Amino acid sequence: MARLTGRRIVLGITGSISAYKAAEVVRGLIQEEADVRVTMTKEAMHFIGPMTFTALTGHPVAIEQFPSHGQPGEEHIDLTIWADVIAVVPATGNIIGKMANGLADDLLSTVLLACDVPCCLAPAMNFRMLGNPAVQANMDVLRKRGYHIIESAYGPLANGEIGEGRLADPDQIVEAIAILADSRRDLAGRRVLISAGPTVEPIDPVRFITNRSSGKMGFSIARMAAQRGASVTLITGPTNQPDPYGVTVERVKSAEDMHQTVFHHLDGQDAVIMVAAVADYRPKQTADHKIKKGASTLILEMERTRDILKEIAQNKPPVLVGFAVETHEGLQYAKQKLIDKNLDLIVYNDITVEGAGFDADTNIVTLLHRDGREEVLPKQLKIEIADRIMDEVVALLHTQETVLS
């Protein structure tokens, strides 16, 4: 199962130069197994043709409010009833104005007037239009009415100027739609802190010691926690993963940086999930200058770093989850870490198994619970494993509240 399996998304496209990027958004939604229907304004068709979207979605594009064939005049209601989420990508100043003022003079604006499902819009326009007080006031009205605005980005605009108003990144838009389409919200009001990625420990200004962690597992958990409604802080070592939508991201380098940043954000967290592959040792000294070659061997003296998870456990948040990446006799080591680090759950990951471990999109893990239960999960996408781990976090939070009440 992908993130949007079986979810029905109506994408409304309006007349901005960035309308061509809506094709990438549709592709992203389909990759996540959504069923997508597209409706375009006549202005949008100046920038991209409907055939592209028919080919991508496998459905005809809805354009006319009063089509010459079929059931006239009911398409707006049909689309609204069908949709789980409606997204306007890109949203021009004009459609934003119409939505804020309840105007409906074409198919898309009529669909939006009839919309009673979650709705988001991704504005795209020149910074002069975006900065216009009328546009800002209209967006405020929409925010207050519960529309989700996927904020535009700063950067090069269509005419070569630099400023606010670029359509948000298509991946981020897909992410925002996935969050809106998930009706569970079982982590709403919860704060979750997640660590991810490797750490890097400098030897000299040009060299460092690190590990193979890609960050994919931790980022997937952050995405899933945000999708289920949590307020998420992600503290990550160096990776090339982009910031997940709606997540506060802190990028750090060394184990010591990670320690400081985790403890800075620790207060008030409902759950902490340490996925990061934190270095256990770092060079005792970092050379100021590049170390030049000399003798045939070089000995680096290393010292232990602090065990972040163990220190968190001394003042344990309601839910504490660790990971154990192992290559041999892993189950025994993982069980020992669950006890030593006073965890509620440890996710054991044998990276020697095909389809598991670093940099892959899939993983094979075993969940080891404090009460001795062991669950071997089948090979699946990291995002699916992340969802399963969040099920456990939700269950642990409920159990603790039941015990306390």
What's the min distance (Å) between Cβ of 237 and ligand CTP?
10
Dihedral Cα 44, 47, 50, 51, nearest 10 deg: 180
Which of the residues are catalytic? 211
> Which among 331, 358, 58 has a CA at the least distance from the CA of 197?
358
- Those residues whose C-beta lies under 8 Å from the C-beta of residue 109, and which sit 6 or more positions away, are 95, 98, 99, 103
- Those residues whose C-beta lies under 8 Å from the C-beta of residue 229, and which sit 6 or more positions away, are 184, 185, 186, 187, 188, 189, 190
Residue ranges binding ligand CTP (CB under 6 A) = 255, 274, 276, 278, 280, 305, 307-309, 322-325, 333, 337
Nearer to ligand CTP, 86 or 278 (CB): 278
- Those residues whose C-beta lies under 8 Å from the C-beta of residue 136, and which sit 6 or more positions away, are 130
What's the min distance (Å) between Cβ of 385 and ligand CTP?
15
Nearer to ligand CTP, 168 or 324 (CB): 324
Neighbours of 31 (CB within 10 A): 12
Nearer to ligand CTP, 172 or 195 (CB): 195
What's the min distance (Å) between Cβ of 321 and ligand CTP?
8
Backbone angles phi, psi at 265, to 5 degrees: -100, 0
280 in helix, strand or coil?
coil
Nearer to ligand CTP, 173 or 325 (CB): 325
Instruction: Decide if 249 contacts 215 (C-beta within 8 A).
Output: no
What's the min distance (Å) between Cβ of 309 and ligand CTP?
3
Nearer to ligand CTP, 138 or 199 (CB): 199
Helix count and strand count (H, E) for the chain: 13, 21
What's the min distance (Å) between Cβ of 239 and ligand CTP?
14
